[in-house]
Chains A and B, each alone.
Chain A
C-alpha cells in the first residue's frame, strides 16, 4: 500500500506554462519535503513544510512555490517552467518529534516521483 503518493507520475508541460505537482500521504507525518533530482545527480531539497510552516532552501529559485492545504497534501507549483526545470520531483515525509529526542532521527519516506518534461 503506497503511503506517499505522487500524481501524476509523468507530466509534460510547455515552456512557461504553469504546472502543479501533487503529493499526498497516509502516514500522518508532520513534515513534507520536495526534492528535485536531475539525471545522475543527488536529490536536491527545494523546501519543506514543518506542519504549516514553510521552509525554503536558500538556493531554491522563486519560480518554485509550494502549498500545503492540510496534513495529507502538499503541492509543488512551478510558475514558469524552463527547459532546465525538467527533472524528477520527489516528495517525502517524516515524523518529527519535538523537543528532539537524543539521537532520534527522522527517516524520510518517499513517493515514486513525478518526472517533468518541458517542451
Chain B
C-alpha cells in the first residue's frame, strides 16, 4: 500500500520550458513534504519543502504547490535546464516532530538541450 505515489516514471522537457513533476498521497495526516533530487551515483539531495499550512513555496527556479483537498503536490521548475536532469523524489511525513518520511518511487526528468 503505497502512501506516496509518483505516477509518472519519466518526463522529457525542452530546455527553457517548464517542468512539472507530480506527487499524490493518500494519508491525510501528512503535513510536511519534501522534494529530493538524485543524480546518478550520488545520494538524494534536499531541494525544497512545504508545510501543510501553505499552498506554495518558492526557491529560485523551483516552486512547490500543495493542494490538500486533492492530496496532491507538484514541483515546478522554470526555466528547465539540462543540469536539472535527474530523478526527483517526493517524501511526506506526519505530525509535529515526526522525523520519518515516506518516499515516492521517483520521476526521472530529462531536459533536452
Interface residues of A (CB under 8 A from B): 4, 6, 9, 31, 33, 35, 40-45, 48, 50, 90, 92, 94, 96, 98-100, 102-113
A102–B96 contact, CB under 8 A? yes
For the complex, would chain B's binding face be called helix, strand, loop or mixed by DSSP majority? Answer: loop
Cα-based distance from A31 to B98 in the complex (angstroms):
12
B32–A43 contact, CB under 8 A? no
Q: Closest Cβ of chain B: how far from A7's Cβ, in Å?
A: 13
Asked whether B89 is an interface residue with its Cβ less than 8 Å from the other chain, the reply is: yes
A105–B32 contact, CB under 8 A? yes
Q: Bits for B70-113, please: 1 = Cβ < 8 Å to A, else 0.
A: 00000000000000000001000100111111111110000000
B49–A105 contact, CB under 8 A? yes
A-B contact count (CB 8 A): 67
Interface residues of B (CB under 8 A from A): 2, 4, 9, 32, 34, 36, 41-46, 49, 51, 53, 89, 93, 96-106
Other contacts beyond A90-B43, A102-B96, A105-B99: 16, CB < 8 A = A9-B41, A40-B9, A40-B105, A42-B2, A42-B102, A45-B101, A50-B99, A90-B44, A103-B53, A105-B32, A105-B34, A108-B34, A109-B46, A111-B43, A112-B42, A112-B43
Instruction: List 14 A–B pairs whose Cβ atoms lie within 8 Å, in order of A's numbering.
Output: A4-B43, A35-B103, A40-B9, A40-B106, A42-B2, A42-B89, A42-B102, A50-B99, A92-B43, A104-B97, A105-B98, A107-B34, A110-B43, A112-B41
- Among A42, A48, A99, A105, point to the contact of B106 (Cβ < 8 A): A42
B2–A113 contact, CB under 8 A? no
Known: A42-B2, A42-B104. Contact between A105 and B93, CB under 8 A?
Answer: yes
User: Which B residues touch A43, using CB under 8 A?
Assistant: 44, 89, 103
- Among B34, B96, B103, point to the contact of A42 (Cβ < 8 A): B103
Q: Closest Cβ of chain A: how far from B60's Cβ, in Å?
A: 17
A110–B51 contact, CB under 8 A? no
B97–A98 contact, CB under 8 A? yes
